[in-house]
A and B are shown apart, each in its own frame.
Chain A
Amino acid sequence: MAPPGAGTARPRGRGGYWLYLVPSLVLFLAIIVVPFLMNLATSFTRWSGVGTPKWIGLDNYTKLFKDERFWASFQHNVALIVAMAVVPTIIGLVLAAALFDYIAKRFGGRTASALRAAFYLPQVLPVAVAGVVWGWMLHPSYGAVNQIFGLKVNWLGDPDFALATVMAIMVWFQLGYPVVIFMAGLQRVDPSLYEAAEIDGASWWRRFWHITIAQIRPEIFVVLLTCTIAALKVFGPIFVLTRGGPGSATMVPSYFSYLNFFQKVNVGYGSAIATVLALIILVVTFLFLRVQERDQESES
């Protein structure tokens, strides 16, 4: 029995599949590739957003490297990597191990998953909404935090406290993500490993170090990479909580470029900041993947 359309010879094998990529490639070109190249080109010009951009070569970049605000913004980024990637990973490891290896065994799986859900809940909020919540709780005159501790601190308005406050909020926001990922990773670990270690009299700490951490290394890499990228890109909480202030105490590159694009109409300069930020993110991603690859090779 002849299949319908058997008369028209259809090409078999590999050819033809690329047709399925066409819609994406068109959209991709228009929305990612062309704009990215335009951004790069703009970074070599002085442009207010209207009229013709004026080519100035590397001037924006040389200005950037002398700009204290720019360097400060990158220092704040490093602080936010600590708050959003490093600290949540460390606390997350301890929490995931405690929930998996201790609470679940002694108090049951339901207790463990209820606690996990509590730690994870901040993660479901849009980050801008999390900012609204904390902005209200930290209000210097009517906020809940000052009421509880009987303080009168202007948490977000005082340059000495602003960055540390934002960091603390980000730890709260990020913590649940590593906990959930690490607990999922621990499901893979062979329980007999723990049992054998326990019989050998290994302390909880030794088991944590030699079994838990060693076994979920791939998850630790993923969490560190994704959280570091998120920290480098951070915009929403800064916009909602401090707008980079007071002064430039919480300025970050993404907000700094936004400021130059839409408030200072310094589009060329904003593009240079955005380009440098993109470059840093790509380099960080590349390095992480490299280290991970080497780690996996030495494993096998």
Chain B
Amino acid sequence: MTPDRTIRQPGRWAVLAALVVLAVVMLFPFVIVTLNAVKSPAEYSSGGPLSLPHGLYLDGIAAFWDRVDFGLKLWNSLLISGVVAVAAVVLSVLNAYALGIGKVRGRLWILVVFLVANTLPQEALVYPLYFLAKKAGLYDSKLAVILIFTVIQAAFGTYLLSSVLGQFPRAILEAAEIDGASRWRMLWRIVVPISRPTLSVLLIFFFIWTWNEFFLPLVFLIDNDNQTVPVALASLQGEKMMDATTTSASALLGIVPAVAFFLIFQRTLTRGVTVGAIK
């Protein structure tokens, strides 16, 4: 065995080295954005994007934060994504209760319709929604975006949860029924608590998906006070006055919340990706 091992040794490190190099390439944008977001414009123009910063220069980030009122954008994104996540989970649970446990007639077709709705391109809905929102006085309001994404996310949640609830242990439900529990009570006292792990995965996914959305918020949130983080950052792209350090500061502010969610929810996310893959 020993000679064989020594022969394989260089090859074995080569595979690891190749993967590490690839990982460095993948992470490079994160590193270089961070490095340059803490440089002063003078440092950038003398050293270029590749030099290491001499110290922590945070004025660029602070100036950008004030200029776009980034705190407000963060709050808008949090509010929209949070409300959508909760509302979409509630709707998904109600639907999945009727479809997965109630097994209402025609449930297969209802599921197909929900699934189609989730795959539909938003372009095929956007103009009528824009038109209707204007008529209803909801254009350029967070409420319009919240309503639309609640329905879109719940369409996916219904599909996923229905199959989970379809396998819900019948014996528990029958026991509760004999005790005289109403359907409404059974849903909130038995089904929801027992399915909590799946519900929390859905909640986090809806939150992050909504946070990352761009197209509909771009169309619907025109006013500076309503914009979400991605929309605010993207609409500054065309501006000529953005210099190199300000742009990297803005990129960093877009990256930080996303990476923070990833670190906080890492376990749930990997679990959820697996659940989604098997479906």
- Which residues of A come within 8 Å of B, CB atoms? 3-6, 10, 12, 14, 16-21, 23-24, 27-28, 30-32, 34-36, 38-39, 42, 49, 95, 98-99, 102-103, 106-107, 111, 115, 117-119, 121-122, 124-129, 131-137, 139, 142-144, 147-148, 172, 175-176, 180-181, 184-185, 218-219, 222-223, 229, 232-233, 235-236, 239-240, 253-254, 257-258, 261-262, 267, 270-271, 273-275, 277-278, 281-282, 285
Asked if residues A282 and B151 are in contact (CB atoms below 8 Å), the reply is no
Asked if residues B277 and A144 are in contact (CB atoms below 8 Å), the reply is no
User: Is B23 on the interface with A (CB-CB < 8 A)?
Assistant: yes
State in angstroms the CA–CA spacing of A14 and B30 once bound together: 54
Query: Quick one: closest A residue to B244, CB to CB?
Result: A142
Asked if residues A35 and B129 are in contact (CB atoms below 8 Å), the reply is yes
Interface residues on B, range: 35 or more
Asked if residues A233 and B121 are in contact (CB atoms below 8 Å), the reply is yes
Asked if residues B218 and A239 are in contact (CB atoms below 8 Å), the reply is yes
Bitwise, B72-113 to A at CB < 8 A (1) or not (0) is 000000000000000000010011011101111100001000
Knowing A103-B16, A236-B215, the reply to whether A24 touches B132 (Cβ < 8 A) is: no
Asked if residues A254 and B95 are in contact (CB atoms below 8 Å), the reply is no
- List, in ascending order, chain A residues with CB within 8 A of B248's CB: 136
- Chain A CB within 10 A, most for which of B124, B177, B237: B124
Asked if residues B273 and A180 are in contact (CB atoms below 8 Å), the reply is yes
Asked if residues B123 and A36 are in contact (CB atoms below 8 Å), the reply is no
State in angstroms the CA–CA spacing of A128 and B214 once bound together: 7
State in angstroms the CA–CA spacing of A285 and B187 once bound together: 33
List, sorted by A's number, 9 A–B pairs whose CB atoms are closer than 8 Å: A21-B110, A24-B91, A35-B132, A36-B124, A39-B127, A144-B36, A147-B50, A184-B277, A239-B218
State in angstroms the CA–CA spacing of A42 and B155 once bound together: 25
Asked if residues A254 and B123 are in contact (CB atoms below 8 Å), the reply is yes
User: Is B20 on the interface with A (CB-CB < 8 A)?
Assistant: yes
Within the complex, the shortest CB–CB distance from B90 to chain A, in Å, comes to 9
- List, in ascending order, chain B residues with CB within 8 A of A31's CB: 125, 129, 147-148, 151-152
Asked if residues B19 and A14 are in contact (CB atoms below 8 Å), the reply is no
State in angstroms the CA–CA spacing of A21 and B101 once bound together: 12
Asked if residues A103 and B19 are in contact (CB atoms below 8 Å), the reply is yes
State in angstroms the CA–CA spacing of A143 and B36 once bound together: 11
State in angstroms the CA–CA spacing of A4 and B104 once bound together: 27
- Chain A CB within 10 A, most for which of B110, B147, B208, B258: B258
Q: What are the 7 A-B residue pairs with the smallest beta carbon separation, nearest first?
A: A17-B102, A3-B180, A129-B254, A35-B128, A38-B128, A118-B23, A144-B49
State in angstroms the CA–CA spacing of A139 and B242 once bound together: 12
State in angstroms the CA–CA spacing of A14 and B104 once bound together: 7
- Chain B CB within 10 A, most for which of A23, A126, A218: A126
Looking at B55-63, B194-202, B228-236, the stretch in contact with chain A turns out to be B228-236
Asked if residues B180 and A175 are in contact (CB atoms below 8 Å), the reply is no
Knowing A18-B104, A95-B19, the reply to whether A236 touches B120 (Cβ < 8 A) is: no
Query: Quick one: closest B residue to A129, CB to CB?
Result: B254
User: Is B192 on the interface with A (CB-CB < 8 A)?
Assistant: no
State in angstroms the CA–CA spacing of A176 and B273 once bound together: 12
Within the complex, the shortest CB–CB distance from A226 to chain B, in Å, comes to 9
Asked if residues A236 and B119 are in contact (CB atoms below 8 Å), the reply is no
Within the complex, the shortest CB–CB distance from B222 to chain A, in Å, comes to 11
Knowing A18-B104, A135-B237, A236-B234, the reply to whether A126 touches B214 (Cβ < 8 A) is: yes
